[in-house]
Amino acid sequence: MSSKATRRGLMLVISSPSGAGKSSLSRRLLESHPELTLSVSATTRQPREGEVDGREYHFLTREAFEKRRDEDWFYEWAEVHGNLYGTPKGPVRETFESGRDVLLDIDWQGAQQLVQQEDSDVVSVFILPPSMEELENRLRKRAQDSDDVIQQRLAGAVAEMTHWSEYDYVLLNRDFEETALELDAILRAERQRRERQTWLIEFTKGLLKDS
Ligand code: 5GP
């Protein structure tokens, strides 16, 4: 029996305020785990420079987003910084149900909705910045957003951070390499949970029979 076909996938949810390093950490995790699938969300926000439709996001008009939302197209959806964001149900279900793991970069509202629906299949991680000064610096360095947007995101960051205690794991991102290792360790450990390794029932039967 193939171990891959009979394992139970997990949904690794990562949340943090903008600028805490979540995107870089997600990218690093995906690079070292090519078998991990990133859930590409839909959003009504404008693409930033370098963002490609279908890669970072599916960029939709508000009208198109609301139509899909009403057709129950999303696993979860939320309004963040005045824009709508949602996780398309189809690709996530397909990946997850075939025993593969999905990475979701979503906010606390989305994390809550997923936990309500999938509970033990969700592993949630919150990334905290080392300080508010550092968070502001990182947002400014990115310089892709206007001053107004940066101020709005800082205010949003405070609101987002009040939800840290709802997550399974909390990482303080002082040092990127260190935090990347910690995130990697979480994924590796969570994969070894007994209930996710459904193939072990048959495997251990064989193992014990041979002894
Ligand atoms: P950004 O506009 O900087 O790419 O993302 C803004 C925020 O929206 C981030 O905190 C990100 O995690 C969140 N976000 C992105 N996609 C989704 C989604 O599909 N659902 C929810 N609930 N939040 C999302």
The tokens describing 29, both together, are: 């995790």
Q: What mean pLDDT value characterizes the chain? A: 92
- 151: pLDDT strictly greater than 90: no
What is the separation, in whole angstroms, between the first and last Cα of the chain?
Answer: 19
> Rounded to two decimals, what is the model's pTM?
0.92
Cα–Cα distance list, 153 to 114, 160, 195 (Å): 23, 10, 39
Quote the pLDDT of residue 161.
94
The tokens describing 134, both together, are: 């550092």
The tokens describing 165, both together, are: 């205690």
- 37: pLDDT strictly greater than 50: yes
Average pLDDT over residues 31-57: 96
pLDDT, one tens digit per residue, over 154-177 is 888 999 999 999 999 999 999 999
CATH code, 3-209: 3.40.50.300
Query: Is 142 near ligand 1, meaning CB less than 6 Å away?
Result: no
- 1: pLDDT strictly greater than 80: no
For ligand 1, atom 16, name the residue with the nearest CA: 106
Cα–Cα distance list, 164 to 50, 59, 138 (Å): 30, 28, 20
Report CA(106)–ligand 1 centroid distance (Å): 5
Query: Is 114 near ligand 1, meaning CB less than 6 Å away?
Result: no
> Domain-by-domain residue ranges, the chain?
3-209
Q: How far apart are CA 56 and CA 41, in angstroms?
A: 8
- 144: pLDDT strictly greater than 50: yes
6 falls in which pLDDT band (50, 70, 90)?
confident
Query: Is 127 near ligand 1, meaning CB less than 6 Å away?
Result: no
Query: Is 86 near ligand 1, meaning CB less than 6 Å away?
Result: yes
Quote the pLDDT of residue 143.
61
Query: Is 41 near ligand 1, meaning CB less than 6 Å away?
Result: yes
